[in-house]
Amino acid sequence: MFNFHYRLERNAIGFVLAIIVVASIGGFIEIAPLFTIDDTVEKAPDMRVYTPLEIAGRNIYIREGCYACHSQMIRTLRDEVERYGPYSLAVESKYDHPMLWGSKRTGPDLARVGGKYSNDWMTAHLNNPRDVVPESNMPAYRWLLRNQLETGDLGEHLSALRAVGVPYTDDMIANAPKDAVGQANPDTDLATGVIERYGEKTDVSLFDGNQGSVTEMDALVAYLQVLGHLTDAAHTTPQNEVE
């Protein structure tokens, strides 16, 4: 073996090829089957896609680095299930490009935070967390209420997502900017379109409390309120024993 290596280390190209081959094996064996083994991702016929406003909110979540302190992955551990709800299923992040499972909980897990707090609480908390949770060390995101949401290019966002596999229809793509405005302005004609395209369960609200304008706060709160609600799969399928 050492004699073989003695020859190998005299051959630069051979050494390069050896590194590539040896280093590729692990990733190939662990990643490729995740695409081919069917039960890697559960089936969830009721799964809906994110609305344009929720996508915009998700992008703000990414932009502000929320994932650095909040996970969206409830592990199969008893205390996590009791604290946060049913453990996360792979299907729940099927449309997450990229996933936001996170790696650190400076703040709590958010996989099922949707519906847990009111829109008013969410807005107040994001504006200055210490107004509602005095012990919090989360940054205050005051600019979210000041910034108008950029909605003009949401159609392009949806088409890019369709290109990577999210089933958006032509109708959804064409109406994306209007739907973003509609979801944050209930009781308007635009709001009706959102329900038509994304279903009855879509949350149409004054997320930031203001009618008319659509702020970045509207988008982020809309996103946080849908977390854990794209599908009921985690609540309807029996969960395995937790540890």
Partner 1 sequence: MISQLTGNERVLAALTFLILLCVGVTMAAAGRDDLIGTHGWVIAVSAIAGAVALLRAYDAPEPSPARLSEYYDEPSKVGIILTLVWGVIGMLVGVWIAALLAWPELTIDAAWASFGRLRPVHTSGVIFGFGGNALIATSFHVLQRTTRARLPDQFSPWFVLLGYNLFCVLAASGYLMGITQSKEYAEPEWYADIWLVMVWVVYFSIYIRTLLRRKEPHIYVANWYYMAFILVVALLHIINNLAVPISFGHAKSYSLFSGVQDAMTQWWYGHNAVAFFLTAGFLGMMYYYLPKRAGRPIYSYRTSIISFWGITFMYMWAGSHHLHYTALPHWVQSLGMAFSVVLLVPSWASAGNALLTLNGAWHKVRDDAVLRFMMLAAIFYGLATFEGSFMAIRAVNSLSHYTDWTIGHVHAGALGWVAMITYGSLYALTPWLWKRPALYSAKLVEWHFWLALSGTVVYVFAMWNSGVIQGLMWRTYNDSGTLSYSFVDSLVAMHPYYIARAFGGLLFLAGAVIALYNIVMTIRSPVPVASESATDIPLGLQPATPIAQAGE
Region near partner 1 per CB under 8 A, out of 60-68, 169-177, 189-197, 204-212 = 60-68
The answer to whether 45 contacts partner 1 (rule: CB under 8 A) is no
Distances (CA, A) of 78 to 75, 84, 207: 9, 10, 33
In the complex, minimum distance from the CB of residue 16 to partner 1, in angstroms, rounded to a whole number: 6
The answer to whether 111 and 71 have CB atoms below 8 angstroms apart is yes
Distances (CA, A) of 103 to 89, 98, 162: 17, 14, 27
In the complex, minimum distance from the CB of residue 232 to partner 1, in angstroms, rounded to a whole number: 16
Collapsing DSSP to helix, strand or coil, 7 comes out as helix
The answer to whether 171 contacts partner 1 (rule: CB under 8 A) is no
Measured from the CB atom, is 79 or 170 closer to partner 1? 79
Per CB under 8 A, the list member of 3, 38, 45, 82 interacting with partner 1 is 82
Q: Which long-range contacts (CB under 8 A, 24 or more apart) does 39-44 make?
A: 40/90, 41/90, 41/91, 41/94, 42/89, 42/90, 42/91, 42/233, 42/237, 43/91, 44/89, 44/91, 44/92, 44/94, 44/231, 44/233
Per CB under 8 A, the list member of 59, 188, 210, 237 interacting with partner 1 is 59
The answer to whether 215 contacts partner 1 (rule: CB under 8 A) is no
CA distance 185 to 222: 12
Q: Scanning residues 125 to 164, which ones bind partner 1 (CB under 8 A)? A: 129-130, 133, 135-143, 153, 156-157, 159-161, 163-164
In the complex, minimum distance from the CB of residue 166 to partner 1, in angstroms, rounded to a whole number: 8
Identify the CA nearest to 89 among candidates 70, 73, 77: 73
The answer to whether 71 contacts partner 1 (rule: CB under 8 A) is yes
Binding mask 4-23 for partner 1 (x = CB under 8 A): -xx--xx-xx-xx--xx-xx
The answer to whether 76 contacts partner 1 (rule: CB under 8 A) is yes
The answer to whether 26 contacts partner 1 (rule: CB under 8 A) is yes
The answer to whether 63 contacts partner 1 (rule: CB under 8 A) is yes
Per CB under 8 A, the list member of 47, 48, 97, 209 interacting with partner 1 is 97
Identify the CA nearest to 51 among candidates 238, 232, 169, 176: 176
In the complex, minimum distance from the CB of residue 238 to partner 1, in angstroms, rounded to a whole number: 16
The answer to whether 116 contacts partner 1 (rule: CB under 8 A) is no
Q: In angstroms, how far is CA 183 from the centroid of its own chain? A: 18
